[in-house]
């Protein structure tokens, strides 16, 4: 999407960090936050995708900073947030979009697979959220943190024990963070996407029994989500429109959880 195509809530003067910002929901959020007037730092482990994002940003690129970051590495996280703070100012908006899903039957899940998924989805979210929160508290500024869970955290999914557990952990982490940070004026909310049309989702759905046809049949609105659907929700939660909203989970799934 181009900046001119993106609806956004006003985010002028905000400094927004998006993890997993080079693809999928993260990339759409970066573009929409730029369209809303924010200064945005997009971090991702994929350097080539970050370079492509910079090209796509076009005229908004003067408010975009990119960096390669592995969110599971605490030292990298602390250095990256410090560098962003020096370049753009204190981060007062965070969207934790970095994540991974590895499909495997329960009895085939190795400790290495389990740790890889949980380390990125849950521990990575914690590392970035805590680091950003620490800087915000020190600055005395209010802020907004948005985590990304999954509809699967609420209904389960076959052959996805590590993914489901890690995303359920993100849901619980969000509530705990919201309680701990409310006194500092820092809001923490969660988005639980349903089936969003990203490369990660397609790799999962195409292997599932029934494939895309069956997946669509479970969605009352009869379409997969678009990354922009989730980006709009993230920008709402970052903005002053959600100034009295914290500790909540916003389900964005085309109605799939009511089926």
Q: Which amino acids are annotated catalytic?
A: 163
Please provide the size of the chain in residues: 259
How far is residue 255's CA from residue 259's CA, in Å, rounded to a whole number? 7
225: DSSP letter: B
What is the C-alpha separation between 11 and 34, in angstroms, rounded? 8
Q: For residues 233 and 252, is the Cβ–Cβ distance under 8 A?
A: yes
Tell me the backbone φ, ψ of residue 230, rounded to 5 degrees: -80, -35
Q: Which residue carries 């981060």 as its tokens?
A: 91
Which residues, in sequence order, are CB contacts of 115 under 8 Å at separation 6+?
A: none
Q: How far apart are CA 224 and CA 156, in angstroms?
A: 18
DSSP code at position 59:
G
- 218 three-class SS: coil
């Amino acid at each position: 999407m181009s900046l001119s195509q993106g609806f956004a809530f006003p985010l002028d003067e905000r400094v927004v960090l998006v993890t997993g910002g080079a693809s999928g929901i993260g990339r759409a959020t970066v573009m929409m936050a730029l369209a809303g007037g924010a200064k945005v730092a997009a971090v991702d482990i994929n350097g080539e995708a970050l370079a492509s994002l910079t090209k796509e940003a076009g005229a908004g690129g003067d408010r975009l900073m990119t960096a390669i970051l592995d969110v599971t590495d605490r030292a990298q996280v602390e250095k990256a947030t410090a560098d962003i703070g020096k370049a753009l100012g204190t981060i007062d908006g965070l969207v934790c979009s970095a994540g991974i899903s590895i499909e495997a039957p329960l009895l085939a899940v190795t400790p290495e697979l389990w740790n890889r998924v949980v380390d990125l989805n849950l521990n990575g979210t914690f590392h970035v959220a805590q680091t950003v929160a620490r800087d915000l508290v020190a600055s005395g500024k209010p802020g907004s943190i948005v985590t990304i869970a999954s509809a699967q955290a609420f209904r389960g999914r076959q052959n996805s024990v590590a993914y489901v557990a890690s995303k359920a952990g993100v849901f619980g982490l969000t509530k705990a963070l919201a309680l701990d940070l409310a006194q500092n004026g820092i809001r923490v909310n969660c988005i639980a996407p349903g089936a969003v049309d990203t490369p990660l989702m397609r790799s999962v759905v195409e292997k599932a029994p029934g494939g895309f046809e069956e997946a669509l049949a479970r969605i009352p609105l009869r379409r997969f989500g678009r990354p922009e659907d989730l980006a709009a929700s993230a920008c709402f939660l970052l903005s002053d429109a959600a100034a009295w909203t914290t500790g909540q989970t916003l389900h964005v799934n085309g109605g799939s959880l009511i089926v």
